[in-house]
């Protein structure tokens, strides 16, 4: 009768194998599904007899040893790293493409056209500077130019705000995936506790969640003997037994260590940074620039952070190298030595500022572009204002020096009642260019002068920066006030000539790490070239990573993927084995019946 149980084991084992094969076939197109393979093995053997030479045993049939998933953990790990790296560069490339659109580089009128329009209006002004028509046209063009500047600036800040929202959404999604993995860990543990079967479908869902997580952040997986996994992100434990260490977000300006160490201003008020909820520590170390060789350029979340930056920048975030004093410009050796001492102090400060720029400005796409753009606009506005309202340095009786309006060099307005010297074109919103004061010069004479209110990097209202400047409303209402005339009523031709010459004057480098000085047009071209180079690099790396990810996915599919041809072959094999077991049982049954009938007779 034991022979019948042997046949039954064959029926049971092959029926289970048929079920598993059918399950594979039904999930051929299911994303994330891992092929299940039935492993058969012998049951225990009964010893019939034995002597010194031979041991006779009888097998008790077949059994299912395991229904295993075919996965290659090495390929899975490589796929997740490269997938995260692809999403890191993809996030930054999408940012560059969006930013190029704001400047009209991809379609529409590019910003270079606005620069050219302002230059053309200056050319017309040079031809007839005492014409109310050309003056009005120039001021109107300046207003249009500033409107475009403000529009671009607003778009950049809005884009940073939108990235802020996306960062918050990705942090929330990371937490959701952590909870999903923890829940699936629990389901796998409970399903496999009896050691009867593997919870393969739960494992598939968990692997799919881990794959998605790897695209968002640098992820490491450690498998446990009980079938659960531990997840580490950015080198710290995220999911462990019974616990998810969730992430949160914090406003940059609320993190005292960041504000104190990195001198972030209140411009960062709305900007958030991902932190660990349980201890408030930052998820990313922003002092470390992500690098491929260190495996730190991984994850869309970090890509967004590298795109957005941590604050709204302006021209003050770009250091300017001080000029070395020339001995021939000083009357005495003592004056020259004092200037050299000051130069060395300025150079030390410049080195610190350059390190700050290279760490917290240049690597971040929007922050860097915003600072570069503000350098251009600041250079144009102050350049035009300094020609319309020239300043000069005077020494006071107490030995200090101040900058005042040089009324002798400045032009005046045109026509009766408009003879005011030095009316600026671009005005700060909350600070006038000059404050009238009565001072005593070094020679003892007393004068009432217009003292220039210097720009102070620590006081936003003092800066000629985008967002803090308007076209002078007095000039908009009365173009005759534009100081392009002389007391005699003649045109102050040299003033207009100097304005036009600004376009050929080198005023800055595109980056403090560059040695090439540029005029306005070349600077803008270099700025856009720098942005395009970033985009090209990010796009090339994204495409390279896409190919790598596709190759690894194909390699994974060779292991985990379901081949309908192979499964159909297995279906036929197990069906034949099932039929063979049935015929075996029928044969044994006939033998038993024959024996019973024979012995009974």
Q: Is residue 401 assigned to a domain? A: no
In a domain, 383, yes or no: no
55 occurs within a structural domain: yes
Q: Is residue 521 part of a domain?
A: no
* Residue 33, domain member (yes or no): yes
Question: In angstroms, rounded to a whole number, what is the distance separating the alpha carbons of residues 504 and 428?
Answer: 26
Rounded CA separation 208/520 (Å):
52
Residue 595 placed within a domain: yes
Q: How many domains does the chain have?
A: 1
In a domain, 271, yes or no: no
Of residues 199 and 384, the one with the higher pLDDT is 384
Report whether 142 contacts 425 (CB < 8 A): yes
Q: Which of 152-156, 316-320, 519-523, 587-591 has the lowest mean pLDDT?
A: 587-591
- Is residue 44 predicted with pLDDT exceeding 80? no
Q: How far is it, in rounded angstroms, from Cα 406 to Cα 422? A: 8
Each residue of 492-516: pLDDT tens digit? Answer: 889 999 999 999 999 999 999 988 9
Relative to beta strand 219-223, strand 62-69 is unpaired
Closest CA to 174 of 223, 121, 92, 232: 232
- Contact assessment for residue 308 and residue 292, using Cβ atoms and an 8 Å cutoff: no
pLDDT in tens, 545-578: 999 999 998 888 777 766 677 767 877 887 888 8
Range of the domain at 54: 2-70+562-600
User: Measuring CA to CA, which residue among 243, 195, 200, 184 is closest to residue 23?
Assistant: 200
Q: Which of 32, 33, 79, 72 is nearest to 546 (CA)?
A: 79
The strand ranges marked E within 82-193 are none
**Would you call 150 exposed, middle or buried from its count of C-beta atoms within 10 A (0-12, 13-18, 19+)?**
middle
Best CA proximity match to 357, nearest among 504, 513, 475: 513
Q: What would the DSSP string read from start to end of 422-485?
A: ---SEEESSS-SEEEEEEEBTTS-EEEEEEE----TT-GGG---TTSEEE-HHHHH-GGGSS-B
What secondary structure letter does DSSP report for 110?
Answer: -
Sign of CA dihedral 141, 142, 148, 151: negative
386-439 per-position pLDDT tens digit:
999 999 999 899 888 999 999 988 989 988 888 889 899 999 999 999 999 999
Q: Model-level pTM? A: 0.84
| CA neighbor of 298 nearest in space, from 541, 547, 557 | 541
C-alpha–C-alpha distance, residues 114 and 146, integer Å: 9
Q: Is residue 23 part of a domain?
A: yes
- pLDDT value at residue 256: 53
pLDDT tens per residue, range 52-85: 666 777 777 777 766 667 777 888 899 999 999 9
CA 543 – CA 85 distance, rounded (Å)? 11
């Amino acid at each position: 009768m034991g022979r019948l149980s042997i046949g039954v084991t064959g029926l049971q084992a092959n029926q289970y194998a048929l079920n598993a094969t059918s399950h594979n076939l039904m999930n051929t197109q299911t994303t994330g599904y891992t092929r299940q393979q039935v492993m058969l093995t012998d049951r225990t053997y009964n010893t019939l007899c034995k002597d010194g030479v031979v041991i006779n045993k009888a097998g008790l049939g077949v059994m299912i040893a395991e229904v295993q998933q075919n996965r290659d953990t090495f390929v899975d790990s490589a796929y997740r790293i490269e997938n995260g790296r692809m999403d890191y560069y993809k996030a930054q490339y999408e940012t560059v493409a969006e930013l190029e659109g704001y400047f009209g580089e991809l379609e529409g009128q590019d910003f270079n056209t606005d620069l050219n329009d302002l230059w053309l209006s200056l050319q017309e002004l040079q031809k007839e500077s005492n014409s109310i028509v050309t003056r009005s046209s120039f001021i109107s063009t300046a207003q249009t130019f500033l409107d475009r500047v403000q529009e671009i600036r607003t778009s950049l800040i809005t884009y940073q705000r939108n990235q802020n929202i996306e960062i918050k959404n990705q942090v929330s999604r990371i937490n959701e995936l952590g909870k999903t993995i923890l829940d699936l860990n629990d389901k796998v543990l409970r399903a496999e506790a009896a050691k009867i079967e593997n919870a393969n479908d739960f494992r598939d869902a968990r692997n799919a969640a881990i794959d998605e997580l790897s695209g968002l952040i640098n992820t490491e997986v450690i498998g446990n003997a009980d079938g659960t996994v531990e997840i580490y992100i950015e080198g710290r434990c995220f999911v462990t037994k019974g616990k998810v260490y969730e992430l949160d977000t914090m406003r940059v300006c609320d993190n005292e260590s960041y504000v104190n160490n990195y001198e972030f201003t209140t411009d960062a008020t709305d900007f958030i940074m991902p932190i660990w909820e349980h201890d408030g520590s930052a998820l990313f170390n922003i002092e470390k620039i992500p690098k491929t060789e260190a495996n730190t350029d991984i994850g869309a979340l970090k890509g967004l952070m590298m795109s957005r930056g941590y604050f709204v920048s302006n021209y003050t975030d770009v250091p300017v190298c001080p000029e070395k004093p020339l001995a021939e410009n000083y009357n005495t050796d003592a004056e020259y030595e004092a200037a050299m001492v000051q130069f060395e102090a300025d150079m030390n400060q410049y080195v610190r500022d350059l390190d700050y720029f290279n760490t917290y400005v240049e690597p971040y796409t929007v922050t860097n572009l915003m600072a570069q753009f503000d350098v251009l606009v600041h250079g144009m506005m102050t350049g035009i204002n300094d020609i319309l309202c020239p300043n000069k340095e005077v020494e006071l009786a107490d030995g200090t020096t101040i900058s005042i309006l040089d009324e002798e060099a400045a032009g005046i307005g045109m026509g009766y009642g408009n003879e005011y010297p030095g009316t600026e074109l671009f005005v700060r919103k909350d600070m006038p260019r000059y404050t009238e004061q009565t001072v005593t010069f070094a020679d003892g004479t007393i004068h009432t002068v217009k003292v220039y209110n210097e720009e102070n990097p620590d006081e936003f209202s003092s800066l000629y920066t985008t967002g803090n400047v308007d076209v002078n409303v007095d000039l908009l209402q009365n173009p005759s006030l534009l100081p392009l005339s002389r007391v005699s009523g003649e045109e102050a031709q040299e003033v207009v000539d100097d304005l036009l010459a600004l376009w050929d004057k080198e005023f800055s480098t595109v980056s403090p790490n560059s040695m090439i000085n540029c005029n306005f047009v070349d600077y803008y071209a270099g700025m856009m070239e720098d942005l395009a180079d970033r985009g090209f690099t990010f796009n090339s790396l994204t495409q390279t990573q896409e190919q790598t990810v596709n190759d690894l996915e194909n390699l994974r599919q060779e292991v985990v993927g379901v081949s309908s041809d192979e499964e159909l072959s297995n279906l036929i094999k197990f069906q034949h084995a099932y039929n063979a077991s049935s015929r075996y049982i029928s044969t044994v049954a006939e033998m038993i019946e024959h024996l019973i009938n024979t012995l009974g007779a």
